[in-house]
Structure 1
């Protein structure tokens, strides 16, 4: 049996951060209809969520 590509904790953190980024990007796009602002807001939310969730889900 092969080992998984990502550990479960990493997959959960990245998956949850992706959901946060998608929601942030969608709400930003709904408010001003400008794709670059949406991408920047989603990227910033993703980075912030990764750091926060990494600390929150400590081993």
Structure 2
């Protein structure tokens, strides 16, 4: 099970509101960091493709 699923779906009836908010904040931050990692990976792949294209054409 993914950490985001666990953070968002774990039973929270026994937690206080601060603990529930902490879970939501953690899930949100993880989601944001995953998106940034995907964007960075895409940028790296584009740059590598551009270098390869330039190398082939040179």
- Could you say which TM-score interval applies, normalised by the shorter chain? 0.3 to 0.5
Larger RCO: Structure 1 or Structure 2 (Cα < 8 Å, ≥ 6 residues apart)?
1
Q: Could you state the TM-score of these two structures normalised by the residue count of structure 2?
A: 0.45
How does the TM-score come out when normalised to structure 1? 0.44
Bigger CA radius of gyration: 2
